[in-house]
């Protein structure tokens, strides 16, 4: 399969000024020539007038391209029609349609980036806030890859030493070998625990933190939701029990994406719909990363009267809203700025590795445990990979990435 030449529209569908159609593979230059005539030399561009459109043509010579292969880019006008016509020309002239994520998969297979970096491409594209984008960008630059390589190498070295010890007779083992192997395993487990602990922060960056507004009916929850969002999302009224379902909306809290949920007021009620609303409110509160509790430390409608010792806010006057935002950000800002966070896939692999690392006085069991952990850690960067692993990662991409 690799070795054939692929093409796809790399830009998002829809109305856009410009679309990029990318061709990659051994025959990319040949396909490009058939479409656009003489190609510009690598790193240069040329304008070619075709029946479908004027095309800006760029060439990249392997290995100096995104995929590490020969690449031709055709820039046309965007929209629903022209990019498809240009893609059709590519397919008629020797390229086949790329699969989802195939450009990035080839970049991985050609050593242009490891799996951690490749995976961050999709997270960069999906990022909802500046911080999520920065996090993905740093992983794309290989910052996390260094950490993962080190973890893998640490596990490999320990695995090799344990394997080697199995070939020795009892008397031939260096003094204290098993004790030092035990310490090395502990060290590896500690480093894994550190990294795993950062995954939650990463999830928050990517998916958003769940903030739930809760309190009794008529406390001013829906008004506070609207005030924080800066628009009238939730229905406000002086009739208790107005909000019966929960309402969710995204907003950007200083770079942290927040899923803000307004809930039904907490009270005993005979109304079955409101009861279900109250049940949902309690579920959301249990799952929340932060609860704005109007029955607790936050006091709403403070324009009508303040309460000492509480965070006083007013949806009406806007008083205290900035302080509430700062307080939320303080709670949610568990993303220490000491390097990018692991993805969910990476965290799961590290949990798998840590769980495998069970110490035993039996050297054979130990060697097996560490070998299993090393296998998991190798999948972080793709030092160890299978076609299933690649499929599971790159099928999340869209065609053209
Ligand atoms: N004076 C004042 N009234 C408010 C404020 N927030 C809400 N209210 C009023 O309190 C009532 C209940 O508000 P609402 O947001 O629907 O409360 P919820 O039932 O907790 O969602 C409405 O009549 C609002 O106009 C506020 O900050 N100041
Ligand atoms: Mg309400």
Q: Is residue 237 within 6 Å of ligand 1 at its C-beta?
A: yes
Q: Is residue 263 within 6 Å of ligand 1 at its C-beta?
A: no
Considering the domain 206-332, what is its CATH architecture? 3-Layer(aba) Sandwich (3.40)
Q: Averaged over 373-380, what is the pLDDT?
A: 97
Give the number of the atom of ligand 1 that is nearest the alpha carbon of residue 315. Answer: 27
pLDDT tens for 159-208 read: 999 999 999 887 888 888 999 999 999 999 999 999 998 888 888 888 88
Residue range(s) occupied by CATH 1.20.120.430 in the chain: 117-198+341-394
383: pLDDT strictly greater than 80 = yes
Pick the CATH number of 6-98 from 3.40.50.150, 3.30.70.270, 3.40.640.10, 3.30.1360.120: 3.30.1360.120
Ligand lying closest to the C-alpha of residue 247? 2
pLDDT, residue 91, reads: 97
Residue range(s) occupied by CATH 3.30.1360.120 in the chain: 6-98
pLDDT tens for 213-253 read: 999 999 999 999 999 999 898 888 888 888 888 899 988 88
Residue 19 vs residues 72, 78, 89, 217: alpha-carbon distances, Å: 14, 5, 15, 52
Give the dihedral of Cα atoms 24, 29, 34, 35; nearest 10 deg: 60
Report how far ligand 2's centroid is from the alpha carbon of 217 (Å).
7
Residue range(s) occupied by CATH 3.40.50.300 in the chain: 206-332
DSSP 306-366: --TTSEE--TTT-TTHHHHHHHHHHHH----SSSPPPPHHHHHHHHHHHHH----SSHHHH
Q: Is residue 238 within 6 Å of ligand 1 at its C-beta?
A: yes
Name the residue with the closest Cα to ligand 1, atom 5: 301
In CATH terms, the superfamily for domain 117-198+341-394 is: tRNA modification GTPase MnmE domain 2 (1.20.120.430)
Q: Mutation test of ligand 1: which of 217, 220, 237, 321 has the most ligand atoms closer than 8 Å to its C-beta? A: 220
pLDDT tens for 260-296 read: 999 998 988 888 888 999 999 999 999 998 999 999 9
Give the number of the atom of ligand 1 that is nearest the alpha carbon of residue 300. Answer: 27
C-beta of residue 71 within 8 angstroms of C-beta of residue 27:
no
Give the number of the atom of ligand 1 that is nearest the alpha carbon of residue 218. Answer: 19
Distance in angstroms (rounded) separating the CA atoms of residues 108 and 58: 22
Distance in angstroms (rounded) separating the CA atoms of residues 84 and 99: 16
E strands along 263-315, which residues? Answer: 290-293, 298-299, 311-312
pLDDT, residue 384, reads: 92
Q: Is residue 314 within 6 Å of ligand 1 at its C-beta?
A: yes
Predicted TM-score of the model (pTM): 0.76
């Amino acid at each position: 399969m690799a070795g054939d030449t692929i093409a796809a529209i790399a830009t998002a569908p829809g109305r856009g000024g410009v679309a990029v159609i990318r061709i990659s593979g051994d025959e990319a230059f040949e396909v490009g020539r058939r479409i656009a005539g003489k190609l510009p030399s690598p790193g240069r561009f040329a304008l070619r007038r075709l029946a479908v459109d004027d095309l800006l043509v760029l060439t990249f010579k392997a290995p100096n391209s995104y995929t590490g292969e020969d690449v031709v880019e055709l820039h046309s006008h965007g929209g629903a029609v022209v990019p498809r016509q240009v893609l059709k020309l590519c397919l008629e002239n020797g390229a086949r349609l790329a699969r989802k994520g195939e450009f990035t998969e080839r970049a991985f297979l050609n050593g242009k980036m490891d799996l951690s970096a490749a995976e961050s491409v999709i997270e960069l594209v999906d990022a909802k806030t500046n911080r999520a984008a920065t996090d993905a960008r740093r992983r794309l630059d290989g910052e996390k890859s260094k950490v993962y390589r080190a973890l893998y190498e640490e596990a490999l070295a320990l695995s090799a030493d344990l394997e080697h010890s199995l070939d020795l007779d009892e008397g031939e083992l260096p003094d204290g070998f098993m004790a030092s192997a035990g310490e090395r395993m502990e060290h590896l487990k500690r480093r894994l625990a550190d990294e795993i602990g950062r995954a939650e922060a990463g999830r928050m960056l990517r998916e958003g933190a769940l903030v739930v507004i809760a309190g009794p009916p008529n406390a001013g929850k829906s008004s506070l939701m609207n005030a924080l969002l800066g628009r009238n999302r939730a229905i406000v009224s002086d009739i208790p029990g107005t909000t019966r379902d929960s309402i969710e909306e995204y907003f950007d809290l200083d770079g942290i994406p927040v899923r803000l949920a307004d809930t039904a007021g907490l009270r005993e009620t005979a109304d079955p719909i409101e009861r279900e609303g109250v049940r949902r409110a309690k579920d959301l509160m249990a799952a929340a990363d932060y609860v704005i509790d109007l029955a607790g430390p936050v006091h709403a409608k403070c324009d009508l009267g303040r309460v000492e010792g509480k965070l006083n806010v007013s949806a009406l006057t806007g008083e205290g809203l900035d302080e509430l935002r700062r307080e939320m950000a303080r709670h949610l800002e568990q993303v220490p700025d000491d390097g990018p966070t692991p993805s969910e896939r990476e965290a799961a692999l590290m949990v798998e590795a840590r769980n495998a690392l069970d110490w035993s006085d039996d050297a054979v069991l130990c060697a097996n445990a560490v070998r299993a952990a090393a296998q998991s850690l190798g999948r972080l960067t793709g030092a160890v990979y299978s076609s299933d692993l690649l499929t599971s990662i790159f099928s999340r991409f869209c065609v053209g990435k």
